[in-house]
């Protein structure tokens, strides 16, 4: 069990590093999927929709 590994143990550092790498890969996969979906939305958007988006996100209020 992971919970019995002492923080001073080298195995603790190895497990922590491996979990960090796995979470990083998971986050990258989610980000890539999200960016792909956003890209498709921009590709399908009309000029008016793009200008509206720009105004809503960057416009001054």
Torsion of CA 47, 52, 55, 61, to 10 degrees: 160
Within-domain flag for 37: yes
**What pLDDT is stored for residue 54 in this prediction?**
83
Range of the domain at 53: 7-58
Domain count, the chain: 1
28-52 pLDDT, tens per residue? 877 777 777 777 788 888 888 888 8
Query: Which band of pLDDT confidence, cut at 50, 70 and 90, is reported for residue 55?
Result: confident
Higher pLDDT, 1 or 29: 29
In a domain, 31, yes or no: yes
The answer to whether residue 2 is domain-embedded is no
Tell me: pLDDT of 61 over 60: no
CA angle (57 as vertex; 38, 30 as ends), nearest 5: 30
- Is residue 52 within 8 A of residue 45, CB to CB? The reply is no
pLDDT confidence of residue 60:
62
């Amino acid at each position: 069990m992971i919970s019995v590994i002492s923080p001073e143990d080298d195995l603790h550092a190895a497990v922590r590093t491996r979990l960090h790498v796995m979470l990083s890969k998971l986050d990258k996969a989610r980000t890539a999927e999200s960016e792909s979906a956003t890209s498709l939305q921009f590709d399908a958007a009309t000029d008016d929709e793009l200008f509206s988006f720009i105004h809503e996100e960057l416009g001054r209020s």
